[in-house]
Amino acid sequence: MNNTSSVADNSFPVADATAPTPAFSPLYQQIKGLILQNLQSGEWKPGESIPSEMELAARYRVSQGTVRKAIDELASDNLLIRRQGKGTFVATHAEHHVQYRFLKLVPDRGGDLDTEGPAQRDIVDCKRLRASADIARALALKTGDAVLQVRRVLSFAGIPTILEDLWLPGGPFKGLTAERLTDYHGPMYALFETEFGVRMVRADEKIRAVLPDATQSQLLKVDGGTPLLSVERIAYTYNDSPMELRRGFYRTENHHYHNALN
């Protein structure tokens, strides 16, 4: 099968005669793209299993090894999870083992956030408003577009530790209410998956050291001179489109942000 062919019945051009470089794209990358489409379209939902390697190989008219390499990359991107003997599954935030997939704050002693008991989540505020210029830019919206703003406090062992403001695009998250957030016990990203079909697959964080303003120090019960970790996160769905802006303020007297560098 040469470089200009497409896969099975799907039209999937891999060469562009006008480009200076022919943009060679390996077969397994094309397969990866096709699988990605099925994930994006919601045909294969978080937690469910996808067809077996043999079945996909037959469907796309390639060898099992080629499908395997495509799945390997998607698995290392944390989009799929392989389970020997059982199948390959769409990754989800709704599993206890990956409770805090994007939250890298850990207690100085203990290793796990939940060692001091489950987190207490308090929704302080949840309202609909129009996006300011910087919020709009972060979410790839236009200034004035409808967005949802949520403010919440996470407490561990009764100590308020994290204050978060989030902004969500109004469209995809239509119908999200403070009540719904309060009633739901589990990771917020899991709620987004099940209720709104939005799965966060990666995120970027910008971290700074700041001093709290009056509101922040009151909500976190610290004085104005206590430095906080400011964590600004933009989370993305499948097609690299931003779906959440989150500004977190972490107390770090007894916790730290842990990062593994490879």
Partner DNA sequence: CAGTGGTCTAGACCACCAA
Partner DNA sequence: TGGTGGTCTAGACCACTGC
Binding site for a copy of itself (CB under 8 A): 76-78, 101-102, 104, 202-211, 225, 227-230, 233, 250, 252, 256-262
d(Cα 134, Cα 146) in Å, to the nearest integer? 14
Report helix angle 53-60 to 64-76, nearest 10: 120
What is the nearest approach in angstroms of DNA to the Cβ of residue 52? 3
What is the nearest approach in angstroms of a copy of itself to the Cβ of residue 164? 15
What is the nearest approach in angstroms of a copy of itself to the Cβ of residue 202? 5
Q: What is the DSSP string of 64-133?
A: HHHHHHHHHHHHHTTSEEEETTTEEEE--S--GGGTTSS--EEETTTSSGGGGSSPEEEEEEEEEEEPPH
What is the nearest approach in angstroms of DNA to the Cβ of residue 76? 11
Nearer to DNA, 70 or 190 (CB): 70
CB atoms within 10 A of CB 95: 15
Place of tokens 């779906």: 243
Contact positions vs DNA (CB under 7 A): 1-3, 21, 24, 26-29, 50, 52-55, 62-66, 68-69, 82-88
Tokens of 244: 């959440």
Nearer to DNA, 71 or 222 (CB): 71
Nearer to DNA, 19 or 261 (CB): 19
**Partner from DNA, a copy of itself, none binding residue 69, C-beta < 5-8 Å depending on class:** DNA
Nearer to DNA, 52 or 78 (CB): 52
CB burial readout 205-241, b (16+ within 10 A) else e: eeeeeeebeeebbebbebeeeeebbbbebbbbbbeee
What is the nearest approach in angstroms of a copy of itself to the Cβ of residue 80? 13
d(Cα 40, Cα 140) in Å, to the nearest integer? 18
Nearer to a copy of itself, 179 or 253 (CB): 253
**Partner from DNA, a copy of itself, none binding residue 206, C-beta < 5-8 Å depending on class:** a copy of itself
